[in-house]
């Protein structure tokens, strides 16, 4: 394996998965190891594009590859991805909870305004 110019960081992995097509690739690979042809047909993208995305994902360690006969099989490296996924989900959950509470506050404010005959402030 070629030496990398520098060690991949969590931030790099973040960037790698910020791209929607790359997230699609990860979704497919979450179902198991796949050859590149499989990804091409599932995503409806040209092979060079898929290969480019796979290269980015490999560079940050989110995807691993191995050769089997003439095929190259790609798979997820969940260890590289999990901290990011967990963090985004956790952040999303915090904000979802806040907004759910905000819905309640806003409902009360609306009812109060209607009760005031819509006079508002």
Partner 1 sequence: MVGVASSGTATVTLPTEDQILVTRELDAPKELVWKAWTTPELVKQWWHANRGEVTVSEIDLRVGGTWRYVSVTPEGFEVAFHGEYREIEPYDRLVSTEAYEGIPNPDENATVNTMTLDEDNGRTTVTILVQCPSPEVRDAMIESGMEAGMQDALDLMEQVAISLR
CB 13 within 8 A of CB 26: no
Residue 87 in the binding site for partner 1 (CB under 8 A) = yes
Give 46 or 106: the residue with its C-beta nearer to partner 1.
106
Tokens encoding 86: 């967990």
Q: What are 78's two structure tokens? A: 């969940």
* Candidate ranges 35-43, 52-60, 64-72, 107-115; the one touching partner 1 (CB under 8 A): 107-115
- Chain centroid to Cα 60, Å, comes to 14
Which residues share a beta bridge with 74?
A: 34, 65
* Binders of partner 1 in range 6-65 (CB under 8 A): 9-11, 14-15, 17-18, 26-27, 30-33
Q: Is 78 in the site for partner 1 (CB under 8 A)?
A: yes
């Amino acid at each position: 394996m070629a030496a990398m110019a520098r060690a991949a960081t969590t931030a790099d992995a973040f960037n790698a998965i910020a791209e929607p097509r790359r997230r699609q690739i990860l979704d497919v690979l979450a179902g198991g190891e796949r050859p590149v042809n499989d990804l091409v047909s599932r995503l409806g993208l040209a092979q060079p594009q898929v290969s480019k995305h796979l290269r980015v994902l490999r560079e940050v360690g989110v995807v691993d590859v191995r050769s089997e006969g003439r095929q190259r099989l790609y798979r997820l490296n969940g260890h590289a991805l999990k901290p990011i996924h967990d963090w985004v989900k956790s952040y999303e959950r915090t904000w979802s909870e806040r907004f759910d509470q905000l819905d309640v506050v806003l409902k009360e404010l609306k009812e109060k305004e209607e009760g005031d005959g819509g006079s508002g402030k």
